[in-house]
Amino acid sequence: GENVEQHPSTLSVQEGDSAVIKCTYSDSASNYFPWYKQELGKRPQLIIDIRSNVGEKKDQRIAVTLNKTAKHFSLHITETQPEDSAVYFCAASRTFGNEKLTFGTGTRLTIIP
């Protein structure tokens, strides 16, 4: 089955700086890669996702890049703000047949004012 590794487990950055979280996956058939943000005591919220037919996707201050050859994808947050502090989870899945999401272990991001 799919295995998703996520690094780092914790990350602290100064407000205004950029943050990068990286994930690797094992199943070469995976073609869908979402990122979720979970604030303390809240449910995970989908913030951005990418399919394998594109290499990069951007939505305002967040972007995701995908390298299918190397089987890794990354979340980039620019101009970080205190409200970006949360736990971020990457995930991977196929979009046909076995459709379950496999989650990474999570990254606790802290933005230092």
Partner 1 sequence: SAVISQKPSRDICQRGTSLTIQCQVDSQVTMMFWYRQQPGQSLTLIATANQGSEATYESGFVIDKFPISRPNLTFSTLTVSNMSPEDSSIYLCSVEGGREGYNEQFFGPGTRLTVL
> Under the rule (CB under 8 A), what is the footprint of partner 1?
32, 34, 42-46, 49, 51, 89, 93-95, 99-106
Q: How far is the CB of 85 from partner 1 (least distance, A)?
A: 16
**For residues 67 and 105, which CB has a smaller minimum distance to partner 1 in the complex?**
105
SS3 call for 92: strand
For residue 47, the minimal CB distance to partner 1 (Å) is 11
Say how far apart CA 61 and CA 38 lie, in whole Å: 17
| β-sheet bridge partners, residue 12 | 110
**Closest separation in Å from C-beta 26 to partner 1:** 16
CA 12 to mean position of chain CA atoms: 16
